[in-house]
Structure 1
Amino acid sequence: MTQTTPAHVAAPDALPRTGVRPPRPPRIHRAWFVAAVAFVTIIGAAAFASLPGLLIEPLHREFEWSRGTIGFAVSVNLALYGLTAPFAAALMDRFGIRRVVAVALSVIAAGSLLTVWMTAAWQLVLFWGILVGLGSGSMALAFAATVTNRWFTARRGLVTGVLTAAGASGQLVFLPLLSWLVEHEGWRPAAVTVALSALAVVPFVWLLLRDHPSDVGLAPYGAPEFVAKPAPVPGAARRAVTILFSAARTGPFWLLAGTFAICGASTNGLMKTHFVPAAHDHGMPITAAASLLAVIGVFDVVGTIASGWFTDRFEARRLLAVYYALRGVSLLFLPMLLAPSVHPPMVFFIVFYGLDWVATVPPTIALCREHYGDDSAIVFGWVLASHQVGAALVAFAGGVARDVFHSYDVVWYASGALCAAAALMSLVIRRRKTPAVA
């Protein structure tokens, strides 16, 4: 009988010839440590996502820029965050995860720091919109998808949920601090804090993150056999575009992109950008409104991890339909809940919305993996691009609507209707009878 090589051994010719049993693999697979480093990295980079909604009123007061102008800079940031993601996933295949993420964090820090000295609106667009957008795009959910695809075969839904929740955890950590700084010290110290937090996690990435399980002689977690590290893939940009054209010829891609665009419109573009100023319009202090967003972050962690667990057990497209339908209903009630103080119905909304905030990510990644196999991380990068384009449009349109109508009500109602459409679109996605090879 032929002896099977253990999954944790680097190669067959590496087996000892002395008759001594090879050492047992560690009780805790190295993949979990890599996931932990990725989690900390995403938390450290999450400060950039916490600040835009806090900047609108201070910048409006200091520079007298319209909310539409400020919203445009935020929309550029959100759009580039998404459009960079597929190229970043391809660059990770070419140059490795560590290099791409370390450079991305440095670009985020530079863009945030340079805003301290800006004097014109175009500089806000350049520094916060373009530089932070490009850097954060390389730290986008494509990073989580790449880590999950390379290091895990089992528990992928759960790990995806945990890494997605890392952004919410970062929001929980930074929102109260940044809102306090904005209100008591001004927006500049808050921008410096974002820069320092991004730089602080660079050493963790460089020293502790590994690109592939084979780098440490292991098989991916849950894999039945050793998987060799693939050769670097040249032509990252060409590959990202080629995969886009290939995926764009399939129906599931457009349905996933459309639903995720609505997801971005109703979260990053709407709530994260405009909830604080909308609550402030009703007399609520900025710190109180920011604290409510932080509470969303608490329940976002619970909801996203639970969604990952559900995704390992239930049909992903049905989960998406439920998530979008519940989100749409909750948004229709929000205009009636905004008030000068926090009251129980608002707390219920925040908890409910938090559980649903990015619960859509694990089933969306699972559907990308089901339909597009080895290319799923890059396909998800393009789906994420649609998410951020949707967020960018609403970030800009929400500011314009506030300038024109002197209220955000129309934006809440329109977003609720879009979520209902996303629920229907999710049900249209067909199941793939034979999953794509991963």
Structure 2
Amino acid sequence: MLRVTAITKKAEPELIVEYPQQRHHVPQKISPGSFVQSASSPSSSSQEEVPLLFQPFTVKDLVLPNRILVAPMCTDSSEDGFTSDFHLVNLGAWSLHGAGLIIMEATAVTEFGRITPGDVGLYRDEHVPGVKRIVDFVHNQGGKIGVQLAHAGRKASHKAGYTQHSADEFWPENVVGPSGGLLWDHNHHVPRELTVEEIQLIVKAFGTAAARAALAGMDTVEIHGAHGYLIHSFLSPVTNHRTDQYGGSLENRARFLLEVIQEVRENFPAEKPILLRVSATDYVEHLESPSWEIEQTVQIAKWVKEAGVDVFHVSSGGNTAQQKIKAFPGYQVPFAERVKSEVPGLHVVAVGLIKDGKQAEEVLQQERADLIAIGRGFLRDPSFTLQAARQLGLVAQHSVQYSRVQNNA
């Protein structure tokens, strides 16, 4: 039962609402998004007839009902790192409609590692209950969920966002990067260079956040090494001009990432997988120094596989305002294909303007990736997974509460 207590405070009451741990729990026998039947032949359920997109996928102890992931997407809807009802409804909707795996938005491992003041965080123990509430809901629906652990680096304390923030919520003096003075653009603050001691503290913060994610019951964690945030900016020679053990050669530039992976692996259950999201290229040419390109991405893919990463999520860009991106449907898939072909045994996720089920199935059939991540497609339609099933001539399992539409899906 919901308990509401009124506390008199001057002229108007304040309501304190306490939610029991388990409310309206309807156990799921089949996860939403699982294959049920062929739309044209309801009596047929042969696994051999099921498109790859709707065949289960297993990595370590994590079993996904299908191969569609919700890519992490920032919503700028948090306050002091705490999740809100918006996050519960937003992420919960995707679990109701059958996403194979939901990856919660970039979640900061330190207070000053947030992109905006509205970022979610796991830098305090007090953040865990709110995250666990979301995890419990997704699990009660039979779904799977992970969280993307992130540090924004030189793109932190950004003024742009989906909500308004007051001036005192920002931290321009605490924006950091591998090298100082390298401004992303006029909307960002000038970063200062991290000391070795500060680097080690951030490495530890990733591990502590991973431990909190485990405490909240997350099925997996994804390390954010893409889009110009801190790990990516260490990897790329465009933004890493250091001359110590964290700069110079590719081995040195990858040191921070490999230390983060080790720390996360030591603080997250061994039976659960770890994902890493990377940008395969910086999309820049004719610079005085080399840039970050697919050849280096393939090399670090080999290293991170040995370090304990199970799934490699291939995106691109975001490290410099000088980038020139020509986006088209599936434009990032060749990067995923390159990694998959050159790093055997590493599961690879393709992402980037993959519009529908048929396109996603084609990528899998051609063995260009193992999993498909969808971003804006889920914002346009939370039931993207169920729609993809229909496009492939299938009926996928609905949530129990929506089961009345199952037979005429």
TM-score above 0.5, yes or no: no
Larger helix proportion of the pair = 1
Larger strand proportion of the pair = 2
> Larger RCO: Structure 1 or Structure 2 (Cα < 8 Å, ≥ 6 residues apart)?
1
Return the TM-score normalized by structure 2.
0.27
Return the TM-score normalized by structure 1.
0.26
